[in-house]
Chains A and B, each alone.
Chain A
């Protein structure tokens, strides 16, 4: 199972649950609206955001095109400083490697910085099963770990929780101010950082020419994870690489401004290996686990640009579907437009085949994407690849529809039949209140205009005899 989670319920049920949760929808609307507005402000400060976006796309395209070469360079540099690099084909390879490292060190306690890849491979449940305690130290991740939930957003995992709900999870009174909640979490986590044997992080970028992992956070918890425990393990998707450290400023600008609207995140860490000779800090051992899990096979396909993604979450914030249903309804660790693209690509046999249909194709995702991924075109491409396995009545409907509308004669016959047939349907004033088949989806919530008594072409024919 490439994405090591299964949706808890079928799509329709997940959507119904989300849409009927008014508080959830308010929380999502508030956070996404704020993120989206901050993003526009932050990008608006730049002299030429369109040029920066084009540069970001070019940097990512170049890296994906030269991936094997850049990986070799990255590996060589990290190993030359005594670090270890592992390529993991699938989730089991990641969890297996982490457990192996933990056992080698007799480690019992792990502290984690936020990582979507660790969610993708379901690291925490695997560690728990192996008898290893793993604690999330990003505040949002800590909250959802307490709640026993999946992240609801790529960069803001607990964005669906209000302050009162967060307080409840931390065992504090509902009206506790945000600062006090943060202080409370900080106090609890501090002790655990000091006790931990291993620190695990993700990575926002891999840099080939310096051989490093770049970690972007606002809470600094990543620094505790990478400097206090004896061992640091970074788990990063193979595609996150860029060729040159010199390109990092542009990529960071795009990432933080698109994600939260910050000019730069509070912390940016560049990790290039274990503690070196004569250095006073850093872990004794450093491991970088690169996760493939279906990514490498996308190179050279029409879906290659999905690998350009830098996981900023901007497409989620602007997506009108995400804004209504939130992250959990997608049933994947990756929700929103990018989730609807990569979930079925990474896990074609999984439960994500219908996610590409969960879009009105409005293009807001494409417009917001800092590296210009044509997300709505990707969704259409996935739909086109999926029709081969569509149910036959639907295939017949579309084939029949296209045939009938293939000439004005059959089109006109079609509309005449429709005009007679619609006499049987219940009305609500002029408009139809109910309709059969696929049109029933429309009339379940909206009145449907009937076929006009005289269509435009009929009126035109009368006007110009």
Chain B
């Protein structure tokens, strides 16, 4: 039996646990044995990107110790996976190479390891897909979430104009440069709203929390879903 260790990410753990639960169900439905190493905390990307390299290295060490023996590490986030794959080798040296090779973004794992694009999901409606930057550019796996979404029954997926433009989250940038970050969110949301889609879907919880936070502040009721929740969705008996 195929086994995967879930790296749930700190944001999903603390703020959006239902995304983690959906991730587990989607994987288990594909016959993957999922375990959750309970010592895990955070990949350290926020520290690394804010300039706190030593602090990021300490968290990378912790991550390495927790996941060292995992057959595969799966996370519902392109950005955290990009941190492990692109920057851990720089922080931890040689021993990070094997860790990086075993680390997968959820849809990439489903598509390339499990070998499935249709997970039997059904969701009636139309969705605008927000392609997150690190998944698209740093992992270069933008095709994975799109391929998975294309098989969701009942769902029409559209891409907003300027789809490759960042939503403005950017880690601590969203707080330290809140006005620029928000201007970017507004530009993105204007394009999303122009699609007329009732659902905003993405593969990174961080972008979605930022965009949903802005939508809520504007009093908009657009439904925001993580791709794990979409793939978990079905009219199951």
Task: Please choose the segment from A138-146, A248-256, A320-328 that sits at the chain B interface, where 4 or more of its residues have CB less than 8 A away.
Answer: A320-328
Which chain B residue shows the least CB distance to A386?
B51
Are A360 and B168 in touch, CB under 8 angstroms?
yes
Which one of B16, B48, B133, B177 contacts A452 once the chains associate, using CB atoms below 8 Å?
Answer: B16
Contacting A at CB under 8 A, from B165-187, are: 165-166, 168-185, 187
Chain B nearest CB from A315 CB (Å) reads 13
Which one, B8, B15, B53, B168, contacts A320 given CB within 8 A? Answer: B168
Other-chain residue from A399, A446, A456, A460 in contact with B210 (beta carbon distance below 8 A): A446
CB closest chain-B residue, reference A11: B177
Segment 67-114 of A: residues with Cβ below 8 Å from B: none
Minimum distance in angstroms from B28 CB to a CB of chain A: 11
Q: Is the CB of A321 within 8 A of B180?
A: yes
Decide: A384 near B51, CB < 8 A? Known: A408-B38, A445-B179: yes
Q: When the two chains form the complex, which single residue of A384, A403, A452 contacts B15, counting CB atoms closer than 8 Å?
A: A452
B17 at the interface (CB under 8 A from A): yes
Beta-carbon contact of A19 and B49 below 8 Å: no
The listed residue (B10, B44, B178, B183) touching A442 by CB distance below 8 A is B178
A433: nearest chain-B partner, CB-CB: B217
Q: Quick check: which of A262-270, A284-292, A341-349, A363-371 contacts chain B, the rest being far away?
A: A363-371
B56 within 8 A of A: yes
CB atoms of B166 and A441 under 8 A apart: no
Tell me if A218 counts as interface (CB < 8 A to partner B): no
Q: Which of B38, B185, B212 contacts A457 (CB 8 A)?
A: B38
Asked if residues A441 and B176 are in contact (CB atoms below 8 Å), the reply is: yes
The answer on a CB contact under 8 Å between B137 and A324 is no
B118 interface contact, C-beta 8 A: no
> Per-position contact with B for A368-398: 1 when CB-CB < 8 Å, else 0?
0000000000001001111100100001001
A447 close to B (CB within 8 Å): yes
B124 at the interface (CB under 8 A from A): no
Q: Are A398 and B52 closer than 8 Å at their CB atoms?
A: yes
* CB of A126 to closest CB in B, whole Å: 34
CB-defined contacts of B171 to chain A, threshold 8 Å: 360-361
Cα distance, A357 to B31, chains bound together (Å): 44
Give the nearest-CB partner of B24 in chain A. Answer: A460
Report chain A residues within 8 Å CB of B38.
408, 457, 460-461
Contact B56 A361 (CB under 8 A): no
- Set of chain A residues within 8 Å of B36, measured between Cβ atoms: 457, 460
Interface residue? B108 (CB, 8 A):
no
How far apart sit A448 and B44, CA to CA, in the bound complex (Å)? 21
B138 at the interface (CB under 8 A from A): yes
The answer to whether B41 touches A324 (Cβ under 8 A) is no
Contacts of A383 in B (CB 8 A): 49-51
Q: Tell me the bound Cα distance from A424 to B90 in angstroms.
A: 41
CA distance A406 to B54 in the complex (A): 12
B173 to chain A, nearest CB (A): 5
- Distance (whole angstroms) from the CB of B139 to the closest CB of chain A: 11
Q: How far is the CA of A366 from the CA of B171 in the complex (A)?
A: 18
Taking the closest CB of chain A, its distance from the CB of B48, in whole angstroms, is 7
* Contact of A446 with B217 at beta-carbon distance under 8 Å, contacts A406-B41, A438-B172, A452-B16 already known: yes
B52 contacts A361, CB within 8 Å? no
Q: Are B185 and A446 in contact, with the CB atoms below 8 A? A: yes
Residues of B within 8 Å of A428, CB to CB, are 216-217
Chain B residues with CB under 8 Å of A366's CB are 137
**Across-interface contacts of A363 in B (CB, < 8 A):** 133-134, 137-138
**Contacting residues, chain A, for B173 (C-beta < 8 A):** 357, 359-361
A323 to B172 CA separation, bound complex (whole angstroms): 20
Q: Determine which of A320, A380, A387, A408 lies in contact with B184 in the assembled complex, contact meaning CB atoms within 8 Å.
A: A320
With A360-B166, A363-B138, A441-B175: A447-B216 Cβ-Cβ less than 8 Å: yes
Q: Which residues of A contact B (CB under 8 A)?
A: 15-16, 19, 33, 318, 320-321, 323-325, 357-364, 366-367, 380, 383-387, 390, 395, 398-399, 401-403, 405-408, 411, 415, 418, 428-429, 431, 438-442, 444-452, 454-461
Which positions in B face A, CB cutoff 8 Å?
8, 10, 12-17, 20-21, 36, 38-42, 44, 47-53, 55-56, 58-59, 62, 133-134, 137-138, 162, 164-166, 168-185, 187, 209-210, 212-214, 216-217
Q: List 8 A-B contacts (CB under 8 A).
A: A320-B184, A323-B187, A385-B51, A395-B52, A405-B42, A445-B214, A447-B213, A455-B13
* A-B CB proximity, top 10 nearest: A360-B170, A446-B213, A441-B175, A383-B51, A402-B55, A362-B166, A456-B17, A362-B133, A456-B20, A363-B137
